[in-house]
Amino acid sequence: MNKDLNMKVNVLPVLTYGFLKVNDSTVSESDIKIDSFETPDASKMPQGVDVKRGVDFAKAGEIFIKNKDRIMYTTGEFAGPNADTTGRNDGQAIRTGMGIDVDELMISAGAKCDIYTVEENVKVSEPVIIEYKMKDGEGCISSQVIHAKKDSEISVILVYESEKEFGGFHGISTRLLAEEGAKINIYKIQMLGDKFIHFDDIGGACFKGGSIGVTTLELGAEKTWTGCLVNLVEKDAELISNMGYLVRYNNFLDVNYIADQRGKNTNSVMHAKGVLMDSATKVFRGTIDFKNGSSGSAGDEQEDTLMLSPDVVNRSMPVILCQEEDVDGRHGATIGQLGEDLLFYMQTRGIDEENAKRMMIRARLDSVARTIPDKELEQRVIFYIQNII
């Protein structure tokens, strides 16, 4: 089935100058090709996880709709920033980084959702591993809901891969709910072929003392859109995100990460580090949003981009929105090539420029890969990184 529509995705929470071309992005209808709607069977499924397969996408969102007042609750009086765009996603069961157009695609295409639930106080020690092994020309969209009930823990690893020369379409929507004291850690490793079109959308909410960890590695695909919005709803809720990326050739990566901090003493950490080569283009939007009522909260966003070709394009939008006095928000960005001092140091140790660059690329990507909580998969990813550079 070929869908006939353009998707407006990764809309910046507040609009800015049009000439920067960061206010949103478009997944064009010609990129979308769908002939499969299902999440593959998990290659590792530890005990303690209840799975419901093939649930209708909208129906799977009911858990968020049931909690919507709680998720969107703010103790203070909300006054939006200039050119606030967040209202456009109000129709979502849970707001996501890429936004409502992904939900509409999922619903209109009839995508299915798998729901992974962990009961109260159950701490699942081993990760769930789901591997998409894409064939050439294949088009797939699928969705998951991960629901960690009070004081439970779950880790889920999603791997998307294909042969290097393959092309196709792959779209994922993952929605997360961490109840009081619950922890969800999700890892997404994208190793798709050079002609793949890929999107990966995440939305989540953390209740009191809950924690969501999002680790992503974007290593392949011709065009990639990824978004993540986590609502830190109640006291001591936390988002820790860690992204690594390598964008090469004429490829394109478009990112929109948002921490929506509503509860007191919430904490968000968003780190992204990556490498741009050849004629690659990358857009990174990262927003820390301190809503009124989030007193005592902290947000830290850091971006480190290594540019290794004169033809790359790097656009960055590190945004902090703040309607609360007692917060500590900061962001930093370092963008450039390898420092001359570092290169000189390497050369004095007998390492030439090309090898020094390879080491620096690996250092950035391996530091993310080493957090994968499955040794075999970690080694596979590190081997993949070693091969592609």
Partner 1 sequence: MSDNKQKVVEIDRSAYEFKDIETEKDFYRMEEGLDEETVLKVSAEKNDPEWMRDFRLKCLKIYNEMEMPKWGPSIEGLDMDRITSYVRHKSEMKNNWEDVPEDIKNTFERLGIPQAERESLAGVGAQYDSELVYHNVKDEVAAQGVIYTDLESAMKTEYADMIKSHFMTLIPPTDHKFAALHGAVWSGGSFVYVPKGVKVDIPLQSYFRLNAAGAGQFEHTLIIVDEGADLHFIEGCSAPKYNVANLHAGAVELFVAKNARLRYSTIENWSKNMYNLNTKRALIEENGIMEWVSGSFGSHTGYLYPMTILKGDHSKMEFTGITFAGKGQNLDTGAKVVHQGVGTTSVINSKSISKDGGIGTYRSSVVIQSSAKKAKASVSCDSLMVDSISRADTIPGMDIRTDDADVGHEAKIGRISDDAIFYLMSRGISEEEAKAMIVSGFANPVSKELPLEYAVEMNNLIKLEMSGH
Q: Which two tokens stand for residue 229?
A: 């919005």
**Alpha carbons 189 and 216: distance in angstroms, whole number:** 6
User: Based on CB atoms, which residue is closest to partner 1, 279 or 371?
Assistant: 279
Per-residue binding string, partner 1, 155-174, x by CB under 8 A, is --------------------
Unique residue bearing structure tokens 């690594």: 244
Nearest to 180 by CA among 216, 205, 214, 158: 205
Q: Which is nearer to partner 1, 81 or 373 (CB)?
A: 81
Cα dihedral sign, 134-93-215-278: positive
Nearer to partner 1 among residue 310 and residue 350 (C-beta) = 310
Number of residues that bind partner 1 (CB under 8 A): 50
Signed CA dihedral, 168, 218, 229, 83: sign only? negative
Map the footprint of partner 1 across residues 294-353, applying CB under 8 A.
295, 307-337
Nearest distance from residue 118's CB to partner 1, in Å?
A: 36
Q: Angle, nearest 10°, between helix axes 353-369 and 375-388?
A: 160
Between 75 and 371, CB nearer to partner 1: 75
Q: Closest separation between CB of residue 251 and partner 1, Å? A: 16
Question: Min. distance of Cβ 266 from partner 1 in angstroms?
Answer: 15
Minimal distance in Å, beta carbon 228 to partner 1?
Answer: 19
Q: Which backbone phi and psi does 87 adopt, to 5 degrees?
A: -60, -25
Q: How far is the CB of 262 from partner 1 (least distance, A)?
A: 13
Nearer to partner 1 by Cβ, of 196 and 245: the residue is 245
Burial class of residue 388, CB neighbours in 10 A (0-12, 13-18, 19+): middle
Q: Which of 7, 22, 140, 217 binds partner 1 (CB under 8 A)?
A: 22
**What residues between 204 and 233 interact with partner 1 by CB under 8 A?**
none
Query: Half-sphere exposure of residue 276, counting CA atoms within 13 Å on the CB side?
Result: 26
Query: Using the rule CB under 8 A, is 79 a contact of partner 1?
Result: yes
252 counts as binding partner 1 under rule CB under 8 A: no
Q: Does 65 bind partner 1 (CB under 8 A)?
A: no
Cα–Cα dist 337/58, whole Å: 45
Give 77's DSSP letter.
Answer: -
Applying CB under 8 A, among 19, 165, 349, 387 the residue interacting with partner 1 is 19
Place of tokens 């994922």: 172
Segment contacting partner 1 (CB under 8 A): 44-52, 59-67, 81-89, 91-99?
81-89
Q: Which of 16, 30, 121, 367 binds partner 1 (CB under 8 A)?
A: 16
Q: Compute φ and ψ for 41, nearest 5 degrees.
A: -60, 145
Q: Tokens representing 332?
A: 């930093």
> Cα separation of 271 and 209, whole Å?
21
Give the residue with the Cβ less far from partner 1, 144 or 256.
Answer: 256
CB of 298 to partner 1, least distance (A): 10
Does position 247 bind partner 1 by CB under 8 A?
Answer: no
Closest approach of partner 1 to the CB of residue 224, in Å? 19
Tell whether residue 81 is a contact of partner 1 (CB under 8 A).
yes
**Residues within window 267-296 making contact with partner 1, judged by CB under 8 A:** 290, 292, 295
By CB under 8 A, residue 176 contacts partner 1: no
Binding partner 1 by CB under 8 A: which of 83, 107, 342, 363? 83
Nearest to 9, CA basis, from 105, 142, 141, 132: 105
**The binder of partner 1 chosen from 20, 65, 342, 363 (CB under 8 A):** 20
The answer to whether 217 and 242 are in contact (CB under 8 A) is no
Q: Are 194 and 223 in contact (CB under 8 A)?
A: no
**Binding of partner 1 by 82 (CB under 8 A):** yes
DSSP class per residue in 128-148: EEEEEEPPTT-EEEEEEEEEE
Q: In the complex with partner 1, which residue's Cβ is closer, 25 or 314?
A: 314
17 binds partner 1 (CB under 8 A): yes
Q: b or e along 111-145 (b: 16 or more beta carbons within 10 Å of the residue's beta carbon)? A: bbbbbbbbeeebebeebbbbbbebeeebbbbbbbb
Summarize as ranges the residues that interact with partner 1 (CB under 8 A).
14-23, 76-77, 79, 81-83, 290, 292, 295, 307-337
